[in-house]
Amino acid sequence: MGLPGPLVKKLTAQGISEPTPIQSHAIPHALDGHDIMGLAQTGTGKTLAFGLPLVAGLMEQRGKPAPKTVRSLILAPTRELVGQIKDALIPLVAGTPIKVGMVVGGVGINPQINRLARGLDVLVATPGRLLDLLDRGALTLDQTRFLVLDEADQMLDLGFIHALRKIAGLLPAERQTMLFSATMPKQMEEIAASYLTHPKRVQVSPPGKAADKITQCVHFIAKAEKPNLLIELLDAHRDELALVFGRTKHGSDKLARRLEQAGYAVAAIHGNKSQGQRERALKAFRDGEVTVLVATDVAARGLDIPDVKHVYNYELPNVPENYVHRIGRTARAGRDGMAVAFCAPDEMGELKDIQKVMKLTIPVASGRAWEELPDPTAKPQGRKGPARGAKPGGGPRRRRRRGGGGGGSRAKAA
């Protein structure tokens, strides 16, 4: 593919000999100096798709970076993803003078300021902490010639749009930029226009498509019964790693305590946990000391733990694309995986949105779909009456079971 020989040898030493589709499409364009707009789901090899041409370009540069400068910048939405990108790049630059560093929130800023004082070839950062450091004068971006935005759509979801606009204004016009995203929301067009110049567009799997080896199912179950059903399903594979997704920080902690009482080795990660707590929880999960990890969507992107066999959507996400990212934590690197969703009455809207995005109907493991009913408090709208399930002002819908059926012991059939 035109990569430098020493870089190919490093890949061979890691057992990597064949590029993934996103790597095959992106790397040749990137090596030719083009800007890249890459659309691909997590778990498709995006880190090396931008990491390899980035390192190849740095290998051609002479001298050291000036103090308080970075030759290349990689922006990612979460601390976990920043750490994983750095860990993936370190073996590629081993034995070279190329220096890689990372900056994230949740840890002391002074050691990061001291590290940046010497200059870096590659800086991997979250946008918020990067702006903090720029405001303090700890670094400048006027010598940054390579820029990567990874999981750009999640950066928008997390509210980094203003930070990205500000960072864009601090970068040199003469640079190469690679933007990777799993989806293309409307705001992404604005970001792409701000950052990219005549980009080459590469896409390997359509947005909303999950890995082929993920077996999916849904349980229609009352909210109060979810903990019992989860424990019942987890009991069937106590020795296998399971990732459980909830919506809120408080709810995730509460569920983790419930599972701990049931005898599981469990940990929780979310935005209120310190960086050290999150890293310790992930390491314990990766090492098998913890077999159940309860997480909010902070963990949905970029986490590469190949041995995760089961993903539980204990609560369905508000953003349908996040379902795809959540279940993408299983079936990594060609393995099989199981994705189980729980759907309470007030989550039917989320389930329908998920199935619309994925262009499929998730098989039912137990229970029957909740039926939307008109709200008796809604005012009639002409002869047709109120829309099914609608409530003036966008209020919550009332739903009920269409017939019986519940999770309970029948879930074992899944």
- CA Rg value for the chain: 23
Per-residue model confidence (pLDDT) at position 414: 34
Contact 8, 56 (CB under 8 A): no
pLDDT in tens, 104-150: 998 899 999 999 999 999 999 999 999 999 999 999 999 999 999 99
Which carries the bigger pLDDT value, residue 114 or residue 335? 114
The segment(s) of the chain belonging to CATH 3.40.50.300 are 5-203, 214-408
> Is pLDDT at 407 greater than 70 in this prediction?
no
Confidence of residue 231 (pLDDT cuts 50, 70, 90): very high
Look at residue 277 and give its three-state secondary structure: helix
Q: What CATH fold (topology level) applies to the domain 5-203?
A: Rossmann fold (3.40.50)
> Is pLDDT at 312 greater than 70 in this prediction?
yes
**Selection from 220, 234, 217, 232 nearest residue 407 by Cα:** 220
CA atoms within 13 A on the CB side of 113: 11
Determine the Cα–Cα distance for residues 143 and 134; give it in Å rounded to an integer: 14
> Is pLDDT at 170 greater than 90 in this prediction?
yes
| Terminal C-alpha separation, the chain | 44
Per-residue model confidence (pLDDT) at position 36: 95
Per-residue model confidence (pLDDT) at position 211: 54
**Selection from 354, 360, 332, 349 nearest residue 399 by Cα:** 349
**Selection from 117, 125, 116, 122 nearest residue 145 by Cα:** 122
Strand partners, 371: 400
CATH superfamily, domain at 214-408? P-loop containing nucleotide triphosphate hydrolases (3.40.50.300)
Strand order across the beta sheet in which 146-149 lies: 100-103, 120-125, 70-75, 146-149, 176-181, 36-39, 200-203
pLDDT in tens, 187-210: 777 788 888 999 999 987 655 455
Q: What percent of the chain has pLDDT over 90?
A: 55
pLDDT in tens, 45-55: 889 999 999 99
Determine the Cα–Cα distance for residues 48 and 378; give it in Å rounded to an integer: 54
> Is pLDDT at 17 greater than 90 in this prediction?
no
